Amino acid sequence: MQCPKCKGTLGSWQIDRVPTRICDSCGGLWFDRQEIRDYLAQATAVQTDYHRLDLLRESHPEPTGYPCLRCPDTPLARIRA
């Protein structure tokens, strides 16, 4: 798979047992909607001390202009953490 931002190669990665993808070129992490929900649920369940977890939960997605990795007709949104 190619990175939507820089077209680098995306490799598989896991954060707290939640699968995601990381770009070997720009270092971007790419979650789909379910993956980010799983990540937040996992972090909450184990009471992980992420200093920006609350900001991530309360943030409002911003359009990126990049297509979704799984459904190219859907634009990706950025959640700033």
Residue span of the structural domain in which 70 resides? 10-76
CB count in 10 Å sphere of residue 9: 13
Tell me if 52 is assigned to some domain.
Answer: yes
The confidence score (pLDDT) of residue 8 equals: 93
Tell me if 31 is assigned to some domain.
Answer: yes
Tell me if 81 is assigned to some domain.
Answer: no
How far is it, in rounded angstroms, from Cα 34 to Cα 28?
A: 18
pTM score of the predicted model: 0.60
DSSP 79: -
Q: Is the pLDDT of residue 16 over 80?
A: no
Tell me if 43 is assigned to some domain.
Answer: yes
Mean predicted lDDT score pLDDT of the chain:
76
pLDDT digits (tens, 9 = 90+) for 28-64: 888 887 888 887 777 665 555 554 555 555 566 677 7
